[in-house]
Each structure stands twice: as C-alpha cells, then as structure tokens.
Structure 1
Amino acid sequence: MICALGAAICFGTASVLQAVAARATEPGTGSGVDAALFLRAVRQWRYLVGLGLDGAGFVLQIVALRHLPIYAVGAAMASSLAVTAVVAARLLHVRLSGREWGAVAVVCAGLLMLGLASGAEGSGTGSTALGFGLLAAAALVLLVGAAAGRLPDGPRALVLGLAAGTGFGVVEVAVRLIDSLTPREFANPALYALLLGGAAGFLLLTSALQRGSVTAATAGLVLGETVGPALVGVIWLGDRTREGLTWLAILGFAVAVAGSLALSRFGEPESGAGAEPGPGADSGPGAGAPTRDS
C-alpha cells in the first residue's frame, strides 16, 4: 500500500508539471492523438521531470499490483487527484478552499478503509481471451482519442482524460496477466496491450492537458483507471477482501473515488477560483485569474 500511495504522489505531481509544459507548447492540429505535441512538450524540463516521476510511479504501481487487489491499487491511484489539486494550487496559483481540503480528507479516509479491508491479490491468471480483449480495448482508446479531438475544450479534456485512464487501466490488468519477462511472454497479447495502452494513455493525457482543466482531465483519468479494472480484478482474477470486510472495501473504494471526483469539480485551475491577485492586478471580474497560457 505504501508503494501504491508513493505511485499516486508521483503521478499526481507529474500531471501538473506536464500540464504546465503542455500549455507552454505550440498547439498542434487539435487531434486527440497528437504524437507531435508529445515530441514538442518533451523538450521542456518540466515535462521531462514529469516523465521521470511517471516512470518511478509505474515501478511502484507494478510492485503494488503484485501484492494487492486491483481495486485497492486503483483507488490509491485515484488519490493522485488530491496530489494534483495541492500541487496545482502551488504551481498554477489557485488557493484550495475548505471544501477541497475536506475532499482531500475524504480521499484519505477512503484509502484507510481500503487498507484495512483489502486481502491479498487474486490467484486468477486470466485467459488468452482476456489478453486479446485488453489489446482490443487499447486500440479502441486510440480511436476514441482521435474522435475526441473535435470536441470543445471542456468536454474534450474530460473525454481524453477518460480515454487515457482506460489506457492506464488496461496496463493495470495486463500487469497481472504477465508472469515474467521471458521469451514465452512475447506470445502473450497482454504484453502488447500493456505497451499500447500505456502509450495511448500518455499521448491522450498530454493532449488533454494542453487545452482544458488539469483536474477535469484527471477526473476522467480517475474513472477510467479505477472502475473497469476493479471489476475485471474481482470477476476474472479472483481479487477478494478480508473475511467479513467486503462492505468496508466497497465503501472505502466509493469514498476514495468520490472524494477525488469532488476535487475535480471544485478545483478548476484555469477558472482562477480563489486565486490571489498578483501585485498591481486589476480589481475587476476575473482579475488575477491564471489564463490557459500561464
């Protein structure tokens, strides 16, 4: 669980650093899948630091997935939105309200309940059909991302974030279907689903953060990488809770995800809600609010 929470801290911090870098990057074609945008963004040190944190977070996530049910790791990943909100308050100059701090406390309470109720990871190994299903889902993520490029900025960020979260959710499940990095695993469709889902997630999340809200994009990310993978873990991979504590695990999962989504609703960095005006700023409506280029 410590590894899962460490991964959430890495991912949450990386999201804001990558958002700052992506918004300072020249816009591309507006397509949901914009590989050129990634190549332009990666020239900035903040994006590179974010990628480094993503890499560290991914290693910690793999360790957690080898010891905990997917639903517990997924909820811990959802807490990255609490980290995103706090770091965004620092880097994007948005003051967190008491309501937002309350949501952070709710997320922590949900994770505590999950930590108490979670059992060991399931013993199920899945099937070849599940591996091919993951590969198809990863390909579908790319198609949805391309179609989302035509949406307005608000829903665009949410849909791209949701698609990116689904891609990362594919990675979560695929990790459980890969026994070891042996030559035999090169015939495992889960390996290619992991690579395609991870790459699609990075591309779509970068495009989502380039225009639109950090927290809206991350809210979609939370939904995509928690609900679906948790169900797959319980139904197909045998994830269970400690005896008699199923109700606590369900409650903890719901509370952690709901608290994270509450942060996405009330913490909009680009709206400037509660932002402190800078020295000499005008006192009129919207004064001092950071713009999408800040």
Structure 2
Amino acid sequence: MSPGWFFLTAMIGMYGVANLLQSIAAARTTAHHTLDPALLVRLARHKTYLVGLLCQTLGFLLAFVARRDLPLFLVQSSVAAGLGVTAVLGVLVLKWRLPPAEIALLVLLCLGLAALVISAQPHPSRDIGLTGEIALALALVGVAGLGFLAAKVHGAPGSVALGALAGLSFGAAAIASRPLANAHSVDAFITSPLLYILVAHSLVAQLLLGLAMQRGSTTAAVAAMDAASAIPPAIIGLVFLGDKVRPGLGWLAGVGFVATLAAVIGMTFFAEPQHHHATGRHRRPDQFVGTRRAQD
C-alpha cells in the first residue's frame, strides 16, 4: 500500500483546520479592495491566522508528498474535502448554521471523493519539460493581472472570483509539485525552476485567498478555489504527467470527479456568508451566522 494514502488523509484534516482559522482572522482584519500585499502583513498580526497558515503549510507539505505517487485528479479533489472538515468545525466551534442544500452538497462531495479513492492508481510522474515550466510561469503573470481586476469586485461575486483565481494558482503549484516531488537528489530539487514557480504561485494564491475570505462566505471562497484548482491539474496530470486510473474503473473516476466538482461549484451558489465587515468596526464571524446581507 502506498504511503501516499496516509499523507492524503492527514492533508484533508490540515486544510480543513487551516480554512477555518484563516477565515476567522480575515474577518477581523480591515477589508482591502486592491491586490495589496500589505493584507498578508495585517493578517500575520493575528495568532489565529499564523496557526492557520501553519496548518495550511503542513497540508501543503503533506499534499506535496502525496503527489509523489498519487494522481493529481485525486489529490486536488481531496483538497476540496478539507472544505467539509471546515464546515463541520464551523458548526461545532463557531455555531455556523449550514442550509440543507449545503449539507447535501457536502454529502455529494464525500461520495465523489470515495469514488476517486477507489479508482485512482498510484504511479510516479513524468517530467514536465521546459515548455511546461514556461507555461506555468506565464500562468503566474496572467493570474496576478486578473487578480488586480478581481480585487475591485465586492461582495459574493468578488469572493468567488478571487477564490477561483487563487485556485488557479494553487492548481499551477500542484502541477509543478507533481514532477518536483520525484526529484532524484537534493541538488536537483533546489536547482529546479519548478521549485521557484511553485513558491511564487503559492504566495500569489495565498494573497488572493485572503482577499476572497474578506468578501463573504468562507465556503463560497474556498469552494471556488477548490473547483479552479481541480480541473486543470486533473487534465494535465492525465495527459502529460502519466497519472493513471485502475483498469476498468475509468467510469468510476469520471463519476467521482464530476460529483466532487459539482459539489464544490454548487457551494458557490448555496453557501451563505458566515461573516462580513461592518463599517467602522470588526465583528466576530459567529455574529452573522445564518444571515444573508441585503446588499454587499
């Protein structure tokens, strides 16, 4: 049995806790309406955010190791399962009230993930090559440019747009990490352009995610991120990186991926804001549980 399964399970838990803690910190920080790196500095003043960032870093490292053997369509979809952990913790700790539609979507998410786990076949990655490295670098420029525009959008649409852009950058980092995880030596790892492309994409994605969480529903922001970070890596992994599905279970992998994707996209429509910024003051996320703003 591949050790990647253990790393995958631990990763889901870490991402779930990270989403919750970073959401709390974002709600207590002055809202930003531009792609300003100073937001990360403000967030870093909150111990809650730093603990959440630590959990996210651990989740990222666990995902990195899991990608050494497990296909991207499984690992990236499993990141979305962290959203389920976030929702459960939000209910237990912050007394969030999830609407019935969101609960149904979380169940669908779990079923889709189970199908992916059954159908995935562990296999090392192929090299991405110079062309792939250049494409990932260009994607970084494109996401950053779109981020400047999306940062001007307020309310739930801004949350979804910024979350989706964060997902694209996290997805690009995942694509870079799949072949990088198979580096044959420390020197090859440190000197690989993929390492620095991965770091750059991760930083941009982190900034975009912080902005997204300030604009509305945590679930909507993270669901949009998960959807955008799942599709491109899944396709690129299967076509270019040698990801494999167990013989005869291609249909199950397809059903599982569609179910997972439908669940996370559905959450962008049904999820209700758990917090928002009030003019002139900051309020606790749990003060806005179960309410929807008339205007964003």
> Normalised by the shorter chain, which TM-score bucket?
0.7 to 0.9
How far is 1:75 from its partner? 1.0
Q: Tell me the equivalent position of 2:47.
A: 45
How far is 1:222 from its partner? 1.0
SS at match of 1:197: helix
Superposed CA RMSD in Å reads 2.3
Range moving further from structure 2, 173-182 or 135-144 = 173-182
* Pair 261,195 (structure 1): closer, same or farther in 2 beyond 3 Å: same
1:16 aligned to 2:20? yes
- Summarize the alignment of residues 139-178 of structure 1 with structure 2, pairs less than 5 Å apart: 139-178=141-180
Find the partner of 1:204 among 202, 205, 208: 208
* Pair 139,288 (structure 1): closer, same or farther in 2 beyond 3 Å: closer
Q: 2:51 and 2:152 mapped to 1: Cα distance?
A: 30
Contact 2:160 2:220 in 1 (8 A): yes
Find the partner of 2:62 among 60, 63, 67: 60
Q: Which amino acid aligns with 2:254?
A: I
* Pair 207,290 (structure 1): closer, same or farther in 2 beyond 3 Å: same
How far is 1:161 from its partner? 0.4
Q: 1:287 and 1:23 mapped to 2: Cα distance?
A: 13
Contact 2:224 2:264 in 1 (8 A): no
Find the partner of 1:249 among 250, 253, 260: 253
1:71-123 CA-to-partner distances (Å, cap 9, x unmatched) read 01011112122222223334553222444333222222111111111112354
1:77 aligned to 2:87? no
How far is 1:148 from its partner? 0.8
SS at match of 1:79: helix
Q: Tell me the equivalent position of 1:268.
A: 272
* Pair 133,143 (structure 1): closer, same or farther in 2 beyond 3 Å: same
Contact 2:272 2:290 in 1 (8 A): no
Q: 2:100 and 2:290 mapped to 1: Cα distance?
A: 20
Q: Which runs of 5+ in 2 are unaligned?
A: 277-287
Q: 2:60 and 2:48 mapped to 1: Cα distance?
A: 18
SS at match of 2:274: helix
1:39-89 CA-to-partner distances (Å, cap 9, x unmatched) read 111111110110111111012101211110000101111212222222333
How far is 1:150 from its partner? 1.6
How far is 1:187 from its partner? 4.8
1:125 aligned to 2:153? no
Q: Which amino acid aligns with 1:199?
A: L
Q: 2:89 and 2:203 mapped to 1: Cα distance?
A: 25
Range moving further from structure 2, 191-200 or 136-145 = 136-145
How far is 1:288 from its partner? 7.4
* Pair 58,52 (structure 1): closer, same or farther in 2 beyond 3 Å: same
Contact 2:78 2:113 in 1 (8 A): yes
TM, length-normalised to structure 2: 0.85
How far is 1:181 from its partner? 5.9
1:118-147 CA-to-partner distances (Å, cap 9, x unmatched) read 112354212111011111112222111111
SS at match of 2:244: coil
1:235 aligned to 2:202? no
Range moving further from structure 2, 164-173 or 135-144 = 135-144
Percent identity, please.
33
Q: 2:29 and 2:148 mapped to 1: Cα distance?
A: 19
Q: 2:210 and 2:185 mapped to 1: Cα distance?
A: 29
Q: Which amino acid aligns with 1:10?
A: M
Q: Which runs of 5+ in 1 are unaligned?
A: 273-285
